[in-house]
Amino acid sequence: MIVEYIRYTIAEAETGEFEAAYARAAESLTAAPECVDYELSRCAEEPSAYILRIRWTSTDEHLNGFRKGPHFAAFFAAIRPYVAAIEEMRHYAVTEVVGRGGSTPTLYEWAGGAPAFEKLFTTFYERVAKDEILAPVFAGMDAHHAEHVAWWLAEVFGGPARYSTESGGHRHMASKHLGRGIGETQRRRWVALLLETADDVELPADPEFRAVLAYYLEWGTRMAIIYSGPNPPPLPETPMPRWDWGLTPPYRG
């Protein structure tokens, strides 16, 4: 992924037509498979200054895919009158300094922080030990298992990085599933029992939070099946996954 910034200075009298031209050009961006997303911003302090930010799948796909592809002609026809007004047009690679601000609580905070995750998994694994389908799978479970899974989910949901720093991170978690031959029956029971436990320990019940929880559990348990199966992929060297609210932040009517 690469970010292209195009800065323009547009005379006051032309700003209306400029924005209308970009609204037309945007149809080509929407249709282009090389374009991830785009946004045109106007400077609040200096209204003649505009910045178009386009995220492309790669620089090469922008220059050799989009520019030589079927959508470029219509795009360029719309914005051609403004080419001379371009101050800068360059590609930027995103650094590791990326984050979210505090305007919306993290899933971790919304759930109730560390105590909520501890209670969820302590209660869950007490039930696992009595469950006819799951008990055999966890028969040789590490004494700290519930605590470690609590750290894992807390971190995935935006909490402190305890699993990464104290428990081996993504690679270690995946490795713990290797060779366990987890099947669909066990996976389903794991998800169902965890959601039932979430009700009983009174995790937030709002649909926004529960949708993300269910989304993560479906995703995570499929990974458990893949890594525990006969042909697991290489262990992940990537950072731990991070989940967020997505399209539905918490409802605070």
Identify which of residues 123 and 167 has a Cβ nearer to ligand HEM in the complex: 167
Residue 91 near ligand HEM by CB under 6 A:
no
Q: Quick one: DSSP state of residue 160?
A: -
Distance CA 81, CA 89 (A): 16
- Cα of first residue to Cα of last residue in the chain, in angstroms, is 36
Query: How far, in Å, CA of 108 to CA of 122, rounded?
Result: 17
Q: Which is closer to ligand HEM, CB of 158 or CB of 220? A: 220
Taking residues 92 to 131 in sequence order and writing x for each that binds ligand HEM by CB under 6 A, - otherwise, the string is ----------------------------------------
Give yes or no for a contact between 146 and 125, defined as CB atoms under 8 angstroms apart.
yes
Query: Is 129 within 8 Å of 204 (Cβ atoms)?
Result: no
The CB-of-109 to ligand HEM minimum distance in angstroms stands at 19
Other CB atoms within 10 A of residue 25 CB: 22
217 lies in the site for ligand HEM, by CB under 6 A? yes
The verdict on 142 binding ligand HEM (CB under 6 A) reads yes
Stretch that binds ligand HEM, among 28-36, 85-93, 101-109, 184-192 (CB under 6 A): 184-192
Which pair of tokens denotes residue 204?
């937030």
- What are the residues binding ligand HEM (CB under 6 A)? 134, 137-138, 140-142, 145, 148-149, 152-153, 167, 172-173, 176-177, 180, 182, 186-187, 190, 217, 220-221, 224
